[in-house]
Amino acid sequence: MTNVYIVGAGPGDYELITVKGLKAIQKADVILYDRLINQELLDEAKEDAELVFCGKRPDHHALSQTTINHLLCKYALKGKVVTRLKGGDPFVFGRGGEEAEELAKRNISYEIVPGITSGIAAPAYAGIPVTHREYSSSVAFISGVNKKDSDEDAYWERVVKSMDTLCIYMGVKKLPDICERLLKHGRPLHTPVALVQWGTTKEQKTVTGTIEDIVEKSRRIENPAMIIVGDVVQLRERLQWFEPSLEEDVNVVASSVG
């Protein structure tokens, strides 16, 4: 019998969770959930299920990762069915691997339930395919935040020179630095860039530009947001289907004022 389910809740839209993920919520005695999940998913929990908030913001963690690991083990060892509900996919910048390691060390049975990661879903809802036969045959999902002791120059050189499309998580505050590194390692100023905030939700906002002007254009964009770099961003003009661009919103306001 599985004691712990490490579940990807998807990128934000309530309907984008998997069937298996939804069943794990419904059967759980305890749900440890993150900040970026759709809160409506918690309505699917049993009436007597214990809900534990484990949310993390860039500047504040409600619970440390060590505490979360401890709680997963504590509840599971009490015989509870535990669902660890994480935004996106638990193994894509979600620390799901660290949690699974802790459970494995204690011989606690667990299942990984993959979810749709925002690196694919947010661009898709913005009308940007991350690959396309005419524009991109490779894509990398990378973090805008690296370990303090890592060689950032070598890291960025490797991904910039080897991939057509870059999907960057947790990079909004570091956007000026990211643009500098893209230029340093060979991307031209006119390289298309998009930022998608709150992808797949009704609050979604998208802004597009180039390495040269995206920092200025995206001043209204805040976390959580995906950064997409590459020629595929140009396809938004033809494939946009979910929400108007931020540029269009600005133009509408300007024309109404005029």
Catalytic residues: 34, 56, 170
Q: Is the dihedral angle over the CA atoms 94, 97, 102, 107 positive or is it negative?
A: positive
Nearest-Å Rg of the Cα atoms of the chain is 20
Q: At a CB cut-off of 8 Å and minimum separation 6, what does 182 contact? A: 156, 160, 191, 211, 229
* 94 token code pair: 């979600």
Please state the φ and ψ torsions of residue 50, each to the nearest 5 degrees. -90, 130
Query: Residue 61: phi, psi to the nearest 5?
Result: -115, 125
> Tokens representing 255?
């024309």
Which two tokens mark 59? 């500047």
Return the structure tokens found at 222: 């805040």
In the beta sheet, which residues pair with residue 141?
167
With 0-12 / 13-18 / 19 or more C-beta atoms within 10 angstroms meaning exposed / middle / buried, residue 144 is middle
Quote the CA–CA distance of 205 and 201 in Å, as a whole number.
9
